[in-house]
Chains A and B, each alone.
Chain A
């Protein structure tokens, strides 16, 4: 037990969000788009807040975006992340107009700034899950 890194908290996909997680497993970042009015929304949920339609299409995002804000985690609040400290979690404005958060790769904290251009990547965890991460694009 003591030699193994602790497991991370795992998401529990719902009927509304399963296509998102399935997409990550295939190396694709999928977003919900309202089938009626075409508004894109995130995180996955059943109703379009623009027109109240419950008809959903899934589109593949470009994965490009810009940093909106971030934090650098120094304290372990979960044993599954202890070995990764310190790590950067960024909130990113995607080109599609929604945001998501994910860890940054290949960037030091002092290089972080609002507007930093980034691109999504996909990482397979030892738990068999694919999570998004971001790398700087310039």
Chain B
């Protein structure tokens, strides 16, 4: 049984994004979820499945309690860090396709700026146990320090440059400035990127994503239900997750420049029945600029090692051959662990992208990346 188009995103919601929400993480997630449920034309009690974001500490029980959900039939988490949100779309698709649920809520929210910061959080996560024992003691502590050697090796093998990383930061910032709900909106040039201080060579400050407060939520509904709801459904054509070799320790990975997404992408494209050339807009998980470049390769938009030239000359900006991160991404909009990417893709495929709308976007793609290299993607089309 194929999951192709057995489910659709029927509702999307977001809070304002900021560096200090002044609200609890539970309240943020409830606010975004209520917005998504209302967007779908549903009542909170219609939700019968929840895929919570475990690292936020907010669980399915919180939604049952706050919404008075009478009969929750399914709850799960997809523990893949930044790949969780898009992996949750695949999970929800399976659950609605098999009749377990009708409407699955995927919430995600955090006080990532005003609460505990990433360097402190990762040391508490069980998936970083091995890194915690063997690599953090020698000084490789934060994700940027663990990912930087992947970027360095890509540069050494393929001639990729820091300026090419800068192309990603600059295009993303331009989109954030147009979007309306983004934290970083000041204009940025390649020279600004090059002048930003080094964090973990070769990654500079402007190669790094934000730490943000806020929440996003989406509702995934069974296809036969989606048709009767308030909004034009956005059908999930294909979805997959992939785990790299040596999934929890980058240093032991046979190829440092290939992510779990390389395994997932062919599965999702085969399910969807489309090729990369047919993708009109892509929201690509951008914890760091390099990770975008690497995923563009692993998705098959170009060959391994060709990502640097691919992103040059505005090719990934609005009007380019593959507009990416039309909301400003994690780099400039907010770090909602990629659920904001799902929300933005749905907005694009509904034609509600406003100033960053890709004209006539019919097919789009969203990726997740997390926990040292896990990957996920969903390919969607407008209904």
Contact = CB atoms under 8 A, between A and B. Distances in A.
B99 interface: no
A89 B140 contact: yes
B141 A100 contact: no
Nearest to A74: B198
Interface string A81-122: 100101101010000001111110000010001100000000
A72 B156 contact: no
Contact of A109 (B135, B137, B157, B201): B201
B134 A73 contact: no
A87 to B, nearest CB: 6
Chain B interface size band reads: 20 to 34
A58 interface: no
Nearest to B138: A102
B201 A71 contact: yes
Contacts of A12: 132-133
Contacts of A113: 156
Interface in B125-162: 130, 132-142, 144-145, 148-150, 152-153, 156-157
A84 B133 contact: no
Contacts of A114: 153, 156-157
B362 to A, nearest CB: 40
A135 to B, nearest CB: 14
A87 B152 CA distance: 15
A78 B120 CA distance: 9
Contacts, number: 107
A12 B141 CA distance: 15
Contacts of A14: 133
B274 interface: no
A14 B132 CA distance: 12
A100 B134 contact: yes
Contact of A71 (B119, B156, B200): B200
Given A14-B133, A43-B133, A69 B252 contact: no
B153 A9 contact: no
Contacts of A81: 139, 141
Contacts of B152: 69-71
Contact of A72 (B123, B137, B141, B200): B200
Given A69-B150, A69-B152, A70-B152, A77 B145 contact: yes
B134 A84 contact: no
B57 to A, nearest CB: 22
A69 B133 contact: no
A75 interface: yes
Contact of B198 (A72, A78, A131): A72
Closest 5 CB pairs of A and B: A71-B148, A72-B201, A69-B149, A77-B142, A69-B153
Interface of B: 119, 123, 130, 132-142, 144-145, 148-150, 152-153, 156-157, 197-203, 249, 251-252, 256
15 contacts: A43-B133, A69-B149, A70-B149, A70-B152, A71-B201, A72-B200, A74-B197, A74-B200, A75-B200, A77-B119, A77-B144, A78-B141, A91-B149, A101-B138, A131-B138
Interface of A: 8-14, 17, 42-43, 68-75, 77-78, 81, 84, 86-87, 89, 91, 98-103, 109, 113-114, 129, 131-133
